[in-house]
A and B are shown apart, each in its own frame.
Chain A
Amino acid sequence: MMLPERTLNIILFLALPLVAVIALALDEPFIITLATRAAILALAAVGLNLALGLGGLVSLGHAVFFGLGGYAMGILASHAQSFTPLDLGLFTLDGTKSMPIIWLVAVTVSAFAALLIGLLALRTAGVYFIMITLAFGQMFYYFTISWPAYGGEDGLSIYVRNSFPGLNTLDPIQFFALVFGVLAAVLWLMGRIERSSFGLALGSARQNAVRVETVGLSPFRLRLVAFVISGAVTGLAGALFADLNRFVSPTMFSWQMSGEFIVFIVLGGIGRLYGPVVGACLFVLLEHMLSGVSDFWLIYLGAVLLLVVLFARGGVIGALANGRGVHD
């Protein structure tokens, strides 16, 4: 039975907190942590989906923003942990364990990096854009590997999860609720952006840039704004991911991470608002179930991805819902 996409979205979205609540009732904190991980990865992919799904920008460098968010958290928290100020040359800054401040820094740094990368990368298109974003990802990856002040290749451990006013973030269900709240807020924002004149123009620029130019809109600017918003959201996810694991490492910058975000989007449905959420949940589920069966679980994931690409071009949501997505 095919459901209207909106109904399906609501059902799928509510499945995540339902799993967490059932896990709480069964006293299975590990399952809650898995649901939290899925929600954070979904958030990162929701960010990428604006650039990739709506804007048609296949970025293989979104791990840059994920890693920057993670390191923003790691650096600020490690300085707060060691009571040493962060020396920024012209001035010093105290570390912090406050999540809202860390999120603000993560979003700002990621957005700024996205602006700089976008200004260069968006002057190209197609395979060149993919290669430039990949190159930026690798630059950051190798930089952090050779950055001993913050752990180099070994990464950086944070002993206690950062704090959020009014919540005990060490309690898995409370941390899940916080992450889920952020995901819900970002999905609401992305829905608004999609339906705004900016979102409509961005989608149109993906299909025909010249046509958009003739109505007075610059495809470059539209894509740059989308890329910056996209990077900022992925950076926020990076900060949350680092907080979930209480650990950051250069692997957050790796191109495999960028590839995983793309896989989430393709699995769920490119350009569909809830596609990345479904894709990330499916990925975490398969990872959890199959990695226990075989060390080569990624082969099975590859088979699933192949089936989706061949037989469900609109991803899982496209296969289950009525209506067409932007790429169907």
Chain B
Amino acid sequence: MTLLHLERVEAAYGAAQALFGVDLTVEEGEVLALMGRNGMGKSTTIRVICRLMKHSAGRVQFAGRDLSQVPPHVAARAGLGLVPEGRRVFGPLTVRENLIAAARQGPWDFAKVTALFPRLAEREGQVARHLSGGEQQMLAIGRALMTNPRLMLLDEATEGLAPVVRQEIWDALDAVRRETGLALVVVDKSLAELGRIADRATVLERGRSVWTGPMCDVAGDVANAYLGV
């Protein structure tokens, strides 16, 4: 079943158009890598999906529901979980409070999230702004999981992190995907890591989706043409 469907989506920041026609679909339980060089519209697409930005043309559907006129909190309640670029946890709250504030009924609860990221259990009472970058990222993912989404969107989830922490986060996402079948849309620059976790990829070039196919086909011509690899 198609969970997310974008059709010829256009969006602009004031007079500056950023998306010129993005098409993508995500099936239930699928992991889609959203790829492209810097400034090609990946984060804008994520913002449009989560309704943090309105699109000017095209269609955004989630679980068969048109999201055009929906505010961000309604989109989130419909089952879209966002792990935003730059982590953006609730800095003054503790780890536990960050997770509780976002909690909604479902299989993901505090115990399950801390089992996925044991470091969060160790830092349970610590204020989020005093966590390391990697721990904040784990908390951002945990917070999104606590909303019990049907689709989680990760925008540069491992950017700026040490390799060992990146590995820990990729392992956790792989575990989430294998054990729960949660659908993911992942934006990241690491082709190798995306290759490990993603089923399909959509490549954006200057605000347009220019290629969609199996993740295993990205390496080679596609990567050379659009990703500068």
Give A residues with C-beta under 8 Å from B. Answer: 197, 200-201, 203-204, 207-208, 210-219, 326
Contact = CB atoms under 8 A, between A and B. Distances in A.
Given A207-B91, A214-B52, A215-B143, A200 B104 contact: no
A197 B72 contact: no
Contact of B101 (A204, A214, A219, A326): A204
Contacts of A326: 92
B84 interface: yes
A204 B93 contact: yes
B161 interface: no
Interface of B: 50, 52, 71-74, 76-77, 81-82, 84, 88, 90-93, 97, 100-104, 143-144, 146-147
From B52, B76, B102, B104, name the one whose CB has the most chain A CB atoms within 10 angstroms: B102
Chain A interface mostly = helix
Contacts of A204: 90, 93, 101
Nearest to A211: B88
B30 to A, nearest CB: 22
Contacts of A214: 50, 52, 72-73, 76, 82, 84
B52 A215 contact: no
24 contacts: A197-B100, A197-B101, A197-B103, A200-B90, A201-B102, A203-B92, A204-B90, A204-B101, A210-B52, A211-B84, A212-B73, A213-B72, A214-B52, A214-B82, A215-B76, A215-B146, A216-B77, A216-B104, A216-B147, A217-B73, A217-B76, A217-B101, A217-B102, A218-B71
A217 B146 CA distance: 13
A208 B93 CA distance: 13
From A200, A208, A211, name the one whose CB has the most chain B CB atoms within 10 angstroms: A200
Given A200-B97, A204-B101, A216 B76 contact: yes
